[in-house]
């Protein structure tokens, strides 16, 4: 296991801790509006703040994973022949 993988794992766990901490301290319901999507323009989503935070975080992680893992024709870490 490389040291870089350990650092990434520790940083990811720190982000998860922040999500847990926010969820524990924000149990009340909030109105979530995202008018660009069109779904919440007339009727906001009313849910516990922790669920909204987790949803936004999950979308960001998935988007970052997809952008990071997309194949652009370049190989990282190796020499091109």
Q: Is residue 60 part of a domain?
A: yes
Q: Is residue 80 part of a domain?
A: no
Query: Is it the case that residue 81 has pLDDT exceeding 50?
Result: no
* Residue 29 near residue 48 (C-beta atoms within 8 A): yes
Q: Is residue 59 part of a domain?
A: yes
Q: Is residue 35 part of a domain?
A: yes
| pTM of the model as a whole | 0.56
CA–CA gap between residue 76 and residue 69 (Å, rounded): 11
Provide the residue range defining the domain that includes 52. Answer: 3-67
What length does the chain have? 81
CA–CA gap between residue 49 and residue 55 (Å, rounded): 10
- Using one digit for the tens of pLDDT, what is the confidence trace for 25-75? 877 888 888 888 777 778 888 888 878 878 888 888 888 888 877 665 555
Ordered alpha helix ranges (H), 1-81: 3-25, 49-69
Number of domains the chain contains: 1
Count the neighbouring beta carbons within 10 Å of the beta carbon of residue 67: 8
- CA dihedral of 10, 11, 15, 17, whole degrees rounded to 10: 30
Q: Tokens for 56, please give them.
A: 């936004």
């Amino acid at each position: 296991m490389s040291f870089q993988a350990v650092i990434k794992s520790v940083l990811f766990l720190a982000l998860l801790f922040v999500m847990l901490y926010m969820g524990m301290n924000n149990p009340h319901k909030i109105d979530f509006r995202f008018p660009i999507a069109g779904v919440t323009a007339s009727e906001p989503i009313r849910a516990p703040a922790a669920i909204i935070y987790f949803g936004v975080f999950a979308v960001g992680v998935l988007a970052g994973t997809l952008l990071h893992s997309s194949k652009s024709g370049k190989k990282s870490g190796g020499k091109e022949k």
